[in-house]
Amino acid sequence: MRRAIIDALDLLRNDREMDRAAASAYLPAAADFAVSQVVDRTVGVQGLIGKADFAWREARGVVAVRCRGCPMVDETSEEALRMACSGCATSSGPDFDFSMAFQPIYDAVDDRVWGYEALVRGLSGEGAPEVLSRISPEQKYRFDQDCRVKAIELASRLFPADEDVKLSINFMPNAVYEPAACLRATLRAAARCSFPTSSIMFEFTENEEVADTDHLTSIITEYRRHGFTTAIDDFGAGHAGLGLLVEFQPDLIKIDMKLVRGVDSSPARQAVVTGIVGIAAKLGITVLAEGIETEAEFLFLKATGIRLFQGYWFARPAFEELPQVRLGSAPGIVAVV
């Protein structure tokens, strides 16, 4: 285990272009820390490497430094740049601008808007698939960071100041190298915009395979420590499904639209959705049904005990603004929020 961690950290050292003296001090210290954290030999090393890397820098007072890929972090000393994580050191930003659209999340119990999901868009309205197709692997880290900052900046201007409304931000788990370090730009943007961290939800999609669930668990733990809500997006249609809930329990799961579509007339979908709702209730996880397009889908899902909903039945995403939302338990009631 120690040898594997040293080999991996050696790659990080090369990314930082450390001199030989710094590397000789860094590698054993970081590896020893990571090995000391292992209580189960089946635990993967990716998350431990991140912890070791961050702990070593923290012990030497270089945590609050500027990573090359992280915006809005102040210090730019040469020592700071050498200590940047490999994601920051190798990532570049996208060569085009983008913005966000917002789609509401409806609370059927309180009959109100519970939150809005920020959805990336091109400046001419291009959808997320088109935008994401232009992001290279080398740009993934910086793009993930830029999306968070953009969403917070827009939400701080658009959200009603006197209401408790969540901002839901998508993130890519494989673009997070060390959770605490990678949150710096997010926390600074929230502070600069006076946007409370308790009003931010991070959702990761099952469509991106997570190679190291221990690393993902460390991300969730760190995000919760800062007061963020955590969620699994597209639940039931991705790589892990129920297996993820065995490893860890987020605050919320979003049932994928493929399970929602036509659920009112599909016994198979009804059985699967009802099972998910029951499992989530036993684990203390809130359920959100996404992709609602008809009244019949909404009414069936509401009867299963689901409280939160999202989809075209309530409102389509609006570019850089908050859309009109269908509210009220009776169909056809529309209010502007």
Q: How confident is the model at residue 19 (pLDDT cuts 50, 70, 90)?
A: very low
Distance CA 108, CA 114 (A): 9
State residue 227 phi and psi, 5-degree precision.
Answer: 90, 5
Domain count, the chain: 2
Distance CA 32, CA 34 (A): 5
Q: Single out the residue in 41, 64, 90 at which a domain terminates.
A: 90
Q: Are strands 229-235 and 252-255 parallel, antiparallel or unpaired?
A: parallel
How much is the mean pLDDT over the chain?
77
| Alpha-carbon distances of 190 from 15, 56, 66, 144, 194, rounded to whole Å | 30, 27, 18, 16, 6
pTM value is 0.73
Q: How confident is the model at residue 193 (pLDDT cuts 50, 70, 90)?
A: very high
Q: Single out the residue in 90, 117, 148 at which a domain terminates.
A: 90
**One domain, residues 84 and 126:** no
Q: Which two tokens stand for residue 329?
A: 């338990």
| Alpha-carbon distances of 142 from 71, 136, 155, rounded to whole Å | 8, 11, 20
**One domain, residues 153 and 183:** yes
User: For residue 251, what are the domain limits?
Assistant: 98-335
Q: How confident is the model at residue 3 (pLDDT cuts 50, 70, 90)?
A: low
pLDDT of 131 over the 90 cut: yes
Which amino acid is residue 244, in one-letter code? L
What pLDDT sits at residue 89?
52
**One domain, residues 78 and 52:** yes
Mean pLDDT, range 191-195, rounded to an integer: 94
pLDDT of 163 over the 60 cut: yes
**One domain, residues 65 and 155:** no
Determine which of 75-84, 194-203, 256-265 has the lowest per-residue pLDDT on average. Answer: 75-84
Q: How confident is the model at residue 215 (pLDDT cuts 50, 70, 90)?
A: confident
Minimal CA–CA distance to 52: which of 1, 115, 122, 116? 1
**One domain, residues 103 and 128:** yes
